[in-house]
Structure 1
Amino acid sequence: MQQVDLNNILDEKIIAVNLTGSTKAEAITQMAQLLSDQNYISSIPSFEKDIYYRESLGKTGIGNGIAIPHGQSESVIKNGIAIGMFKNEIPWESLDDKPVRIVCLFCVKAGDGGESEHLRMLAALAGKLGNDNVVEQLMSTTTVEEVKQAFL
């Protein structure tokens, strides 16, 4: 399986810092709006429905204050990963039963070979998020550029 270059995937236009959501629903809606504003998705309600369907199948909080909600959706125009850094902790079903402050929302086309692209993106990001130094760096970022740099 070919490795994905995060530098090509991480788009500063869909990375946001200092977000104010305090619930999972607010977090997902804010990030879906960001994706919609940048023409990554064609329909926020359709995209959210697909994300919540995937959420119903198992926890997407991976621990260390990070969640990686994802799902494939017909409403996706362009694959990407929206990253939201939240000011406050958000209750989320996570492996360590702790809330999250970083949400990496995967935006992947349904069908059309999207599954393998989805797995490659997930593997590339998870590799970085499994590194404690990267997570520490992310937790102290204050700008979109710093967020992107932490992953590279």
Structure 2
Amino acid sequence: MNDIINKDLVVLDLEASSKEEVIRKLSKLIEKQDKLIDFDGYVKQVFEREEDFPTSIGFDVAIPHGKSDSVKSAAVAFARLKKEVKWSEEESVKYVFLIAVPEKEAGDRHLQILAQLSRKIMREEFRTKLQEASNIEEILEALDS
């Protein structure tokens, strides 16, 4: 996981009032890492995916994602939100992992990242670390373990 996320892709206590704002802010982090070819194209694809089916998965977590030609190389950005944001009719979230994957890697790489994150999120110990981390390094350690 440490090949697709680093300290510049993690934000603790992100302020946002909507899922669209969260997605835009995390997408900007990925863009600053030179992982996107087309910021607007990528964001549009993530929003379209959210319209089809919201990506909140329970446990106060959402995993929005985009598989697009607008992505240069795979990346994951993470935010622990300062306040919960309504993600769907049924759920609000506090933790968001945004996945960016080039279209050519859409099958294997995308599913591999989703599976890794999902396995971690199912563990209460991991979720506790996300909640209690006092710095970005603790988040990265939790993701790497």
TM-score normalised by the chain length of structure 2: 0.92
Is structure 2 residue 102 aligned with structure 1 residue 102?
no
Question: Take 1:150 and 1:86, find their aligned partners in 2: how far apart are those partners?
Answer: 17
CA distance in 2, matches of 1:139, 1:88: 12
> Using the alignment, how far apart are the partners of 1:14 and 1:78 within structure 2?
14
Counterpart in the other structure of 1:28: 23
- In the TM superposition, 1:44-59 aligns within 5 A as 44-59=39-54
Q: 1:65 aligns with which of 57, 60, 69?
A: 60
Offset of 1:98 from its aligned partner? 2.9
Asked if 1:143 is matched to 2:139, the reply is no
Instruction: Name stretches of at least 5 consecutive residues in structure 2 with no aligned partner.
Output: none
Cα deviation, residue 14, structure 1? 1.1
Task: Give the whole-Å Cα distance in 2 for the aligned partners of 1:73 and 1:141.
Answer: 32
Identity %: 28
- SS of match in other structure, 2:3: helix
8 Å contact kept, 2:63–2:97: yes
Show structure 1 runs of 4+ deviating over 3 A: none
Separation in 2, partners of 1:115, 1:49: 20
Structure 2 contact 20–47 (Cα < 8 Å) conserved: no
Distance in 2 of aligned mates of 1:129 and 1:79: 20
Structure-2 separation of matches of 1:19 and 1:8: 23
Q: Give the deviation of 1:56 after TM superposition.
A: 1.8
Aligned pair 1:85/2:85, yes or no?
no
Q: Normalising by structure 1, report the TM-score.
A: 0.88
SS in 2 for 1:71: strand
The number of residues matched between the two structures is 144
Q: Distance in 1 between matches of 2:14 and 2:29?
A: 11
In structure 2, distance between residues paired with 1:115 and 1:53: 18
CA-CA distance at 1:99 after TM superposition: 1.0
Residue 45 of structure 1 and its aligned partner are, at CA, apart by: 1.1
Displacement of 1:78 in angstroms is 1.1
Q: Relative to 1, partners in 2 of residues 1:139 and 1:50: Cα closer, same or farther, differing over 3 Å? A: same
